[in-house]
């Protein structure tokens, strides 16, 4: 039997699990405890942008961005564990991985090679 392939990535105004489109957590064999954590994670996605000026980009502190990303990694592993072998859940968290965790300078860090 073929595995059902899902994608785990937070998205504004949607759930973090996708299969061609956003999925309802109630349609998957997930515990209520995990669904509650996923919904909190989804709600927190809305804090990435200043919705009065979304062009500013990510407005969170580096620490907040790192914690959100790490929470996503933990939730991804929990989803994989609960769904089991019948599902393949792809990691789509790269877009929320903070620059500080990618080895890139933070946007407010000035690089001056002359010093």
**What gap in Å lies between CA 34 and CA 15, rounded to an integer?**
13
**What gap in Å lies between CA 90 and CA 75, rounded to an integer?**
12
Any idea what DSSP says for residue 96? Answer: G
Evaluate whether residue 113 is within a structural domain: no
In percent, the amount of the chain with pLDDT more than 70 equals 89
Evaluate whether residue 114 is within a structural domain: no
- Give 19's Cβ-side CA count (13 Å radius): 12
Any idea what DSSP says for residue 87? Answer: E
**What gap in Å lies between CA 100 and CA 63, rounded to an integer?**
9
Evaluate whether residue 16 is within a structural domain: yes
Domain that holds residue 55: 4-101
Residue 106 has a pLDDT of 55
Express each pLDDT in 32-90 by its tens digit.
999 999 999 999 988 888 788 888 888 888 899 999 999 999 999 999 999 999 999 99
Evaluate whether residue 107 is within a structural domain: no
Evaluate whether residue 33 is within a structural domain: yes
Residue 102 has a pLDDT of 84
Q: pTM for the whole thing?
A: 0.83
Residue 56 has a pLDDT of 83
Please count the structural domains in the chain. 1
């Amino acid at each position: 039997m073929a595995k059902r392939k899902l994608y785990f990535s937070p998205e504004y105004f949607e759930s973090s699990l996708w299969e061609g489109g956003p999925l309802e957590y109630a349609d998957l064999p997930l515990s209520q405890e995990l669904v509650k954590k996923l919904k909190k994670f989804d709600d927190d996605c809305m804090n990435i942008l200043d919705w009065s000026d979304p062009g500013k980009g990510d407005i969170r502190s580096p620490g907040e961005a790192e914690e959100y990303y790490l929470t996503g990694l933990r939730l991804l592993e929990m989803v994989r564990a609960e769904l089991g072998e019948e599902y393949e859940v792809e990691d789509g968290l790269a877009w929320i991985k903070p620059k500080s965790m990618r080895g890139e300078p933070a946007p407010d860090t000035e690089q001056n090679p002359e010093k």
